[in-house]
Amino acid sequence: MLSFMHAQYTFFQQGYTLLNELNPYMKKLASELDQLVIDSAVEKREMEHKHATIQQ
């Protein structure tokens, strides 16, 4: 039983450590995705404006 509990502890400890190491990467990725959403919204607005100008 003790061996099983130690294995469980090790498994979850390794998962926790891995996620802590990935945290800076995940934050950077989230900020890049936020910027991508903003950039695509700006580009869409510009394209719609150009399209409206051409249609006139």
What pLDDT is stored for residue 56 in this prediction? 82
Task: Tell me the residue type at 53.
Answer: T
What pLDDT is stored for residue 42 in this prediction? 98
Give pLDDT tens digits for 29-44. 999 999 999 999 999 9
Give pLDDT tens digits for 7-32. 999 999 999 999 999 999 999 999 99
Cα–Cα distance list, 54 to 44, 46, 47, 49, 51 (Å) = 15, 12, 10, 9, 5
Q: Which residues of 3-41 are buried (b: 16+ CB within 10 A; e: fewer)?
A: eeeeeeeeeeeeeeeeeeeeeeeeeeeeeeeeeeeeeee
